[in-house]
Structure 1
Amino acid sequence: MPSSENDLTAVDDLESRIPGAFPGADSPLVSTHQALSQALYARRTEYTRPRNIRIKVGTWNIAAFKDAEKDIAGWFIGGDGIEKSIGGLGINDEPTESRGARSDKKSSTFPDQEAETIPGNDEIGLYALGLQEVVDITSATEALRPYTDPSTANRIKASLQERLPAGYQLVAEQQLIGLLLLIYAAPSVVPHVQSVSTTSVGTGLMGYMGNKGAVTARLLLGETTRLVFVNCHLAAGADKASVERRNWDAAQIATRTKFTPIPDALGTPQSPHEGIGEEDFAFWFGDLNYRLEGMPGDDVRRLLTVHTRGLDPEPLMSGDLSATAVGSDDISTVNTTSQSSLKTVESEEEASSLPARMDPASVLTTISSLLPHDELHQQQKSGKAFQDGWKEGPIEFLPTYKYDVGKVGVFDSSDKKRCPSWCDRILYRTRAAKLAHDAKVHEREEAKKKDEEMKARGIAEAENDEDVLFDYNPDTDGADDDYDEFDDPEPETVVTKQGFDDEILLEYYTAHQRVLSSDHKPLDAVFALKYDAVIPDLKAHVHQEVVKELDRTENEGRPSITLVVDRSPEKASTGAVSEDTIGFYGVDFEEVRYATPKRRSITIANTGRVPATFGFTNRSMGSEQSKGPLPSWLSARFDREPSSAASDQMSNQYTIEPAEVVNIELTAKIESNELVRELNEGTAHIDDILVLRVQNGRDHFLPIRGHWLQSTFARSIDKLIRIPEGGIRKLQHQKPESDVGVKWSAPRELFRLTEALETLTERTVADWDMTGHEEVKAPWQHNAAWPFTRNLPFTAGKLTETLYTNVYEALDCDKTFDSAFAPDIIPMQRLEVLADVLLRFLQSLEDGVVTKDMWEQLEKGMAAQERSKQQRPPEEERLWVLEILSSVPNHNVSFILLTSMLSRMANEIANVSKTEQTPRSSVELPQSPVSVRRRTLSKIPEVAIRQLISRNYAAVFAGAIIRTPDGAMKDKEQRLREERMSRMLEIFLDEGK
């Protein structure tokens, strides 16, 4: 799921950092034309067709049973494990002996050949399975783990996939500690599943940990129907405080669950996150943990054991409550609370002739007598939880908790003897039910306001109930008097959020009593859903018709422009068009090299009947590189003056009259070290979309693309020394990984540049001496940092951009520098170009020549020396620096290579300066681009010139080769650091004089 960043409030920011609280990212919303969307929406019946699927929802608390996967697929996919006598659906009886033998086997705990009783296998379109306690959540180690071990989930998925019919796919998955939600779709349904978003909410320890909470999934079915699945595990406990905590857990899940939003059919802007309540159909299931309120556990077990006797082969222990029930001849002693009517049954034949709901001895009658005590129903009735439209199918199965593991119908025989309860539930809600509830709440609030207003105006003078027009009690108003038995089998029609008429019908709701591997019994429900699905081909056809109709009716006074993208000069001259360019209507810069401009032209014509004003507008695509009208590496030059200045949202705007044209030259030039590094690594690409906005007209989207050619710039020394002879392009877009053998002691580019600079320095000095420029001074007489800085126009207008791009290409392809220069380019011009390239190359090195770690050691030692006020001899100082640099040999070699070159160049220039000086009394020192204290220079002019050159070179190169730790510094501290960096280089540059 694609995603886009949104500003968060302080609370949102806190919750977004809670593990599993929100989706990781949001999908960017694509802008659409409102008129087109409305027209397309109005004709939605033409491109949708009704579809029918079954949705099977299952839930099971497996109590951390390690081999649970052997049972899951059988009951959930195949419908196995239902007990005929208490399930109400009818299956073949299984001999008691075989049930006893199965409890100790590694295989499934229910019969292999059991007849299917509810829809399963390929009859189901969507399987939604919610499991709880797939790991031991009582373990502090598991509950506080920062991640979830996927091994258990993988085993469960493997078991399900093996049992599922061919073609079923996992379309949604979410796990939070012990909670696991899996959704599978049939082959015919998979193409219709879109916009899947999963998330989780922890409500356990401290209200946020994942030992309790929910995992949820939202999906869009057929582009029309939103479905939400919530698998939860609420707080345990049988006291009143536990009930309130369960209600709190449910409310937290409902409010904190957030999904990636889906744009509606009209393109209406959505909130940053879509929550529970905005769907068309929702299914809430899991271990809700609601108990039987006020019921003695012993009485409930005796009552239920009447219906479970004979289901388990083992003889019951004398102290077991169930033994008392099974051995009793007087049924009334078993049921002292609600089963006294059993005395009126005169014979088994008479009882069996009655309908199950009217038979006082039937399991349905027993269940009906217990349901009024169910906490979930009580909380719904009082409006404290799940009151906002949630409902449940008829409960015609025994409580799902708590059983002895390995038993079909033996309730908790441990010392705790917990009261059996319907802890595991499957609820569902439609959009219609949610809206109806909201309308009732609104009506009650309005009635209460009117009541209070009338009281305030004195219409009701007494405080008695008779004098109040509207008596409101939030705990009881709107609640049903009786538990809904869900005896309406008709499908429920629902108008979806997108205006379609869907139908849903609960077909089955039952427990699988014969699954023995947990103290909970699994539960599932089957829903028949009829929905309208978008047919892509029909929608495309209607879309074309709508577009044509809108074009015909479009106002002729609306500004209209046409963009024409010129073909690249290379392709225009050769006539070659690559396959990947066919059909591409944007701007293709093709091969883009480091710091080499590529230009393309665009012609904009006013094809309307009124003047058109336009300009590039912000794209807002998420990343820093994509902010603003144009990416940082792209510039646009128009052939006319703008009609209005740029703003925060738009670039300069231009106005053209009908039939007029304006030409734009787009120039792509990539030289930012950060972007070059990302392009080299493949984490960034030269792909973008420009938005040309026409006032009172429509936006035009202009795709931009290019193919990056690998460069030696913006890499680390460790990678550069692994590039083979032939240059970075020889790798054919492969990265020079660390496991590739070292081929050079220092980057080959550094060897080539330093060697060329030394040679060209000698030639430049010699040529200057031979040609004789008596009327002007040499560049090194003007500038002590020459050729690395320049301030006189010796080569003005001659150091063209092409010279630099040719040198970059020569470095990347390992070509000679002579191939980069035309024959008429003199040595001085070549020297200055290569000097600039060397500095840029050093500045682009990812870790520098002197790394941050190395400099921290050097700076610490220099500071200690300053405090001691004891200056080391230069030779000892050099050895100390080299010893630190030697920890990384390739950096050490690079450093020596550079300083040796600078020292020899300084000697060469200083020597020629001696011969050019007039008598010593009139010697002039060259200008110094960097701050140098003249009083510290030698009194001997020749020595002073050499010192001045060394200090300038050191100042220029210190920032290029040394990487310092990040962090703000005061101006004084920064100046002190810069002095130390320069001084460290000076001791090496003075070595050769």
Structure 2
Amino acid sequence: MAVATEDQLKAVVRLLLRPTEVCSFAAEVQYTRSPEDKPVNRILAIVVNTQAGVEEASVFLLRRNGPTASVLETLLPVYFDFRISAAAAAPAKPGQDGDNKPAKDAKSAFVLKLVCESTETVVLTEDLMTLQGLLTELRRLHLIAQEDHLYAGGNSHRWVQYYAVLNLHEHTDIASSMSPDEFVELSANPLSTYYLQPEEGYNYAAVTGIAPLDLAAVKDQWIEDELARRESEFTEYQTVSTFVGTWNVNGKSAPESVDAWLHVKDQERQPDLYVLCFQELDLSAEAYIVLDGSKEEEWTRCISNSLGDGYEKVVSKQLVGLLIFMFASKEAVAAGHIREVATHSAGCGIMNVLANKGGVAIRIRYKDSHLCFIGSHLAADTSQLERRNQDYQELCRKLSFPVVKNVSRRGTKSATGNATLANIFDCDHTIWAGDLNYRVALTEEQVKFHLKTDDYDTLLKYDQLAAQKSLQKTFVEFEEGPIAFQPTYKYDVGTDTYDSSEKRRVPSYTDRILWRTRNPQPDSVEQRFYRSCMELKMSDHKPVSALFDFRIKSIQMDQQDKVQLAINKELDQYEKACIPESVLSTTEVVFDEVRYLEPQTRTITIENTGE
């Protein structure tokens, strides 16, 4: 059997992870529970979370459960007192385990002992490169844990509890449905059992490496969950109409008009927000070295002329050829609906530095909901499927925003907790648009045959993005509206004719718009349309647009205070009921005349009369 590469093992591990975690190291090792047991193969992975602004690491030990599935058996958080030791194991003697090879042919094995508090795990590897890679990464992360004093029972590593209490494939919010005592009991139990990818009839091992939460944190979390559960009692809901567009302009200058793309005269309501994502804004070599703002100014004028006086630019962010704009209606800006505006960018092109591919992002607070918009350009070419998946993972990990603490309102459940940085998933609605470069896995002749009858459904059966989503390798939990338009790439410039050059690239749906919402209500997102714009012909891509109605929260502070007061009273009553009560059978002890060396006894009974 071929040995799996580190990238292949990381891909297996990623299937178990939330988007907020990343696997920084993975290798196959041998593991034994006791010296008498025969070693078994396991995946040892280092998983890192950076939501708190520092790299918090944990060691995962996983059992393979099929080609792409795995089961988490052991988890060791890397705290400041984490210990790792390595030693060379003596080669097996001739004749052991039926091996008749001479001792000189036996491979040397290395024994690694990982210790976190009272949990000790011993693994073996015969690969020196694996040993060096593991030690290097663990020592780096351990140094961070020491410098930031990350310890069990502190405020770090809260994210590992998602693996303790959640089924990652169902994403059930267990805590919100618990009573106060159930929540305290489960959260304070350091031996809480958890399983990943459960299969009926299989008894998975429990993980024992998670420290208990302090009681104050548990109470605060329960209050937050109760407020979120009763949110409708103090929240009014409206919708914000949002136009999202993406266009790979192939290095061309802005045209005289983009009205055909941006105008939505067929809709009763005009958008409150416009978010426009551009790729390949500048294809010159100088663009990778010097940031030139002339292209942004040029497109700002073009968009402003199209939208008219009723809109104004809120913010923009450029990274080489990537550019994202947000425009808003002047009414929304004047009313102060848009706050906490933040931007970020990340490259994932050549050496992850030159940013010929990457992403730009905007995060805002609209009333009392957070919206995040990402514009990206992923790896090109039909064969670069895994690279596109990796680019997506890289952008999920790299893109983050500062958290504004002084204006936050309690009661809108936030995934950021005490973190100083928010990632792209720490919001109510996440919208991802761009030239994602996923192709149609058919020949040019096959695609054009189906296009003659507008048979888009058949084409989409061979769409790489849809296939990778179904395998949970990319854009997990994102949704996309029905596609009822022609592939938007690749056209001869100035025409509606697909590529007639020598390369004759297969027409594909490279330009996409997807969304993800944290709200479980079915009406939290409504897509009004999803379409391409065939009128604009200056690029080899056609622009794509979608119009959304996003459900937005507006908290009524007076009513929220009343609800929180009721929740606090409920918690106080519970705590009072838990106070121990006892009764003594007597309040005094009377002995007879006490004499030297004459023992006397009296009995006092203490009875617990509390609940």
* TM-score (ref. length: structure 1): 0.33
Is residue 2:499 matched to residue 1:412? Answer: yes
Is residue 2:483 matched to residue 1:395? Answer: yes
SS for the counterpart of 1:392 is coil
After TM superposition, give the deviation of residue 421 of structure 1 in Å. 0.6
Is residue 2:438 matched to residue 1:251? Answer: no
Contact 2:377–2:434 under 8 Å retained in 1: yes
Residue ranges of structure 2 left out of the alignment (5+ in a row): 1-51, 57-139, 145-218, 573-611
| Cα distance change, pair 547–528 in 1 and its aligned pair in 2 (3 A) | closer
Q: In 1, distance between residues paired with 2:546 and 2:352? A: 30
Structure 2 match to 1:523: 544
Is residue 2:235 matched to residue 1:48? Answer: yes
Is residue 2:306 matched to residue 1:163? Answer: yes
Q: In 2, distance between residues paired with 1:547 and 1:429? A: 29
Structure 2 match to 1:228: 372
Matching of residues 641-720 of structure 1 within 5 Å: none
Amino acid at match of 1:151: S
SS for the counterpart of 1:515 is coil
Matching of residues 130-209 of structure 1 within 5 Å: 130-136=277-283, 139-143=284-288, 145=289, 147-190=290-333, 191-209=336-354
Contact 1:55–1:126 under 8 Å retained in 2: yes
Write out per-residue CA displacement over residues 613-655 of structure 1, whole angstroms, 9 at most, x where no aligned residue.
Answer: xxxxxxxxxxxxxxxxxxxxxxxxxxxxxxxxxxxxxxxxxxx
After TM superposition, give the deviation of residue 49 of structure 1 in Å. 2.2
After TM superposition, give the deviation of residue 227 of structure 1 in Å. 1.3
Is residue 2:262 matched to residue 1:77? Answer: yes
Amino acid at match of 2:360: V
2:430 alignment partner, one of 273, 282, 302: 282
| Cα distance change, pair 368–404 in 1 and its aligned pair in 2 (3 A) | same
Higher mean C-alpha deviation, range 273-282 or range 389-398 = 273-282
| Cα distance change, pair 301–542 in 1 and its aligned pair in 2 (3 A) | closer
Amino acid at match of 2:394: Q
Contact 2:402–2:421 under 8 Å retained in 1: yes
Is residue 2:515 matched to residue 1:428? Answer: yes
Write out per-residue CA displacement over residues 304-363 of structure 1, whole angstroms, 9 at most, x where no aligned residue.
Answer: 3x4xxxxxxxxxxxxxxxxxxxxxxxxxxxxxxxxxxxxxxxxxxxxxxxxxxxxxxx41
Amino acid at match of 1:253: L
Q: In 2, distance between residues paired with 1:524 and 1:11? A: 43
| Cα distance change, pair 45–377 in 1 and its aligned pair in 2 (3 A) | closer
Structure 2 match to 1:368: 457
Amino acid at match of 2:344: T
Q: In 1, distance between residues paired with 2:560 and 2:472? A: 46
Write out per-residue CA displacement over residues 117-146 of structure 1, whole angstroms, 9 at most, x where no aligned residue.
Answer: 4x39x610111111111111xx43322x1x
Q: In 2, distance between residues paired with 1:532 and 1:77? A: 27
Q: Which has the higher contact order (CA 8 A, sep 6+)?
A: 2
Q: In 1, distance between residues paired with 2:363 and 2:287? A: 27
Q: In 2, distance between residues paired with 1:246 and 1:168? A: 35
Is residue 2:478 matched to residue 1:382? Answer: no
Matching of residues 969-988 of structure 1 within 5 Å: none
1:60 alignment partner, one of 238, 247, 250: 247
Q: In 2, distance between residues paired with 1:124 and 1:389? A: 25
Contact 1:291–1:374 under 8 Å retained in 2: yes
Structure holding more helix per residue: 1
| Cα distance change, pair 43–297 in 1 and its aligned pair in 2 (3 A) | closer
SS for the counterpart of 2:524 is strand
Amino acid at match of 1:250: Y
Write out per-residue CA displacement over residues 760-813 of structure 1, whole angstroms, 9 at most, x where no aligned residue.
Answer: xxxxxxxxxxxxxxxxxxxxxxxxxxxxxxxxxxxxxxxxxxxxxxxxxxxxxx
Contact 2:488–2:510 under 8 Å retained in 1: yes
Structure 2 match to 1:582: none
Write out per-residue CA displacement over residues 128-165 of structure 1, whole angstroms, 9 at most, x where no aligned residue.
Answer: 111111111xx43322x1x4211111111122222224
Is residue 2:439 matched to residue 1:291? Answer: yes
Q: In 2, distance between residues paired with 1:216 and 1:251? A: 15
Q: In 2, distance between residues paired with 1:525 and 1:389? A: 19
Structure 2 match to 1:532: 553
SS for the counterpart of 1:214 is strand
After TM superposition, give the deviation of residue 278 of structure 1 in Å. 2.3
After TM superposition, give the deviation of residue 546 of structure 1 in Å. 9.1
Structure holding more strand per residue: 2
Amino acid at match of 2:554: A
Matching of residues 537-576 of structure 1 within 5 Å: 538-539=556-557, 541=558
Write out per-residue CA displacement over residues 249-304 of structure 1, whole angstroms, 9 at most, x where no aligned residue.
Answer: 111111111111255644984223211222221111100011111x2224434553
Structure 2 match to 1:463: none
Contact 1:227–1:280 under 8 Å retained in 2: yes
Amino acid at match of 1:421: S
Contact 1:284–1:427 under 8 Å retained in 2: yes
| Cα distance change, pair 43–393 in 1 and its aligned pair in 2 (3 A) | closer
Matching of residues 484-883 of structure 1 within 5 Å: 493=521, 503-534=524-555, 538-539=556-557, 541=558
Write out per-residue CA displacement over residues 77-129 of structure 1, whole angstroms, 9 at most, x where no aligned residue.
Answer: 214xxxxxxxxxxxxxxxxxxxxxxxxxxxxxxxxxxxx44x39x61011111
Write out per-residue CA displacement over residues 198-221 of structure 1, whole angstroms, 9 at most, x where no aligned residue.
Answer: 101100010232110110111122
Contact 2:238–2:553 under 8 Å retained in 1: yes
SS for the counterpart of 2:553 is strand
Amino acid at match of 1:411: Y
| Cα distance change, pair 47–543 in 1 and its aligned pair in 2 (3 A) | closer
Larger radius of gyration: 1
| Cα distance change, pair 292–12 in 1 and its aligned pair in 2 (3 A) | farther
| Cα distance change, pair 59–7 in 1 and its aligned pair in 2 (3 A) | closer
Amino acid at match of 2:425: G
SS for the counterpart of 1:493 is coil
Q: In 2, distance between residues paired with 1:12 and 1:133? A: 41
Q: In 1, distance between residues paired with 2:301 and 2:287? A: 23
Task: Indicate the RMSD between aligned Cα atoms, in angstroms.
Answer: 3.8
Contact 1:71–1:515 under 8 Å retained in 2: no
Q: In 2, distance between residues paired with 1:552 and 1:390? A: 39
Amino acid at match of 1:533: S
| Cα distance change, pair 544–277 in 1 and its aligned pair in 2 (3 A) | closer
